[in-house]
């Protein structure tokens, strides 16, 4: 650890501080200011020459601001002769733009990967990418950690014995299967049909939910629309009004927490990959990913030391 430096942007200072405690190090000197016109100004206040630098900066909302800040910190490290720059990006913004739905659209997740490499980032560490194909957009190493085991540990005493694990759509079946296996609960899958460019409808449910509690899983909760729709379909199918929602990235935008509570979600379990809400809603439980990030950083730092 003597050859590494841990820096933090402004996106998630709580997680950065928790990670520093887990590693037993002090956060390195990094000042981030903004000019009146919104431009970011970054300054390193301590030397990073020949050091392995880990920059903690999820690209959560406001995504563009935090992304440019990450690029600026990485560029400052590169120009200051850092040996290697590892971007610790627990939440990867633009992950849903991983393919084109029309001929005249960008693949922004790939664009962001190119920007990170151009800024001098040598390695990316993230948590539960929206799709694993994003790793292929990079030419530098990418390591994706899973928060599912720590989330399942937090859920174990909260999930009734008769509960089922629910995948809200076909795209989350693999994720829901992992939860179902670790929790030893049956798996239920909701199938949907797209009604318009912005609306979907649950057409049928694969699995038995009548009279049972439901644990709905996803990798992220943004506005909560998908979960609210799913809860409504499960209610109509006779599920017991005992709904738990678990997701790695709890963005909770546009009063999402209130919408989930109004739909009947009593327990919401997320991680701290993004900053927690200023006024946490009732039933919200936040699980820290700092221990799994710290474990990876220790092993990476040790491998670099041994190789050197």
Sign of dihedral through CA atoms 128, 134, 137, 139?
A: positive
192, 205, 229, 290: which is the annotated catalytic residue? 192
Is there a catalytic annotation at residue 99?
Answer: no
Q: Are 53 and 7 in contact (CB under 8 A)?
A: yes
Catalytic positions, written as ranges: 192
């Amino acid at each position: 650890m003597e050859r590494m430096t841990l820096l933090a942007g402004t996106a998630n200072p709580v997680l950065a501080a928790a990670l520093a405690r887990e590693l037993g190090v002090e956060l390195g000197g990094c000042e981030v200011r903004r000019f009146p016109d919104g431009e970011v100004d970054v300054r390193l206040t301590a030397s990073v020459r020949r050091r392995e630098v880990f920059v903690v900066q999820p690209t959560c909302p406001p995504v563009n601001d935090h992304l440019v800040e990450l690029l600026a910190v990485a560029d400052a490290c590169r120009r200051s002769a850092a040996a290697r720059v590892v971007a610790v990006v627990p939440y990867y913004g633009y992950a849903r733009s991983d393919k084109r739905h029309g001929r005249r659209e960008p693949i922004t997740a790939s664009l962001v990967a190119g920007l990170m490499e151009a800024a001098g980032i040598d390695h990316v560490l993230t948590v539960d990418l929206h799709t694993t194909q994003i790793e292929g957009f990079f030419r530098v190493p990418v390591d994706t950690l899973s928060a599912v085991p720590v989330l399942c540990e937090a859920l174990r005493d909260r999930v009734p014995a008769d509960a089922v694990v629910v995948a809200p759509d076909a795209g989350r079946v693999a994720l829901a299967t992992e939860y179902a296996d670790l929790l030893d609960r049956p798996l239920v899958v909701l199938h949907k049909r797209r009604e318009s460019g912005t609306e979907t409808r649950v057409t049928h449910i694969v699995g038995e939910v009548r009279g049972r509690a439901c644990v709905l899983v996803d990798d992220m909760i943004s506005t909560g629309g998908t979960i609210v729709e799913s809860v409504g379909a499960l209610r109509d199918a006779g599920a017991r009004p005992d709904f738990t929602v678990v997701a790695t990235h709890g963005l909770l935008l546009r009063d999402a927490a209130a919408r989930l509570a109004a739909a009947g979600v009593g327990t919401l379990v997320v991680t701290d990959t993004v900053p927690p809400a200023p006024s946490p809603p009732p039933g919200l439980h936040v699980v820290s990913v700092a221990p799994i990030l710290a474990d990876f950083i220790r092993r990476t730092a040790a491998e670099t030391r041994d190789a050197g």
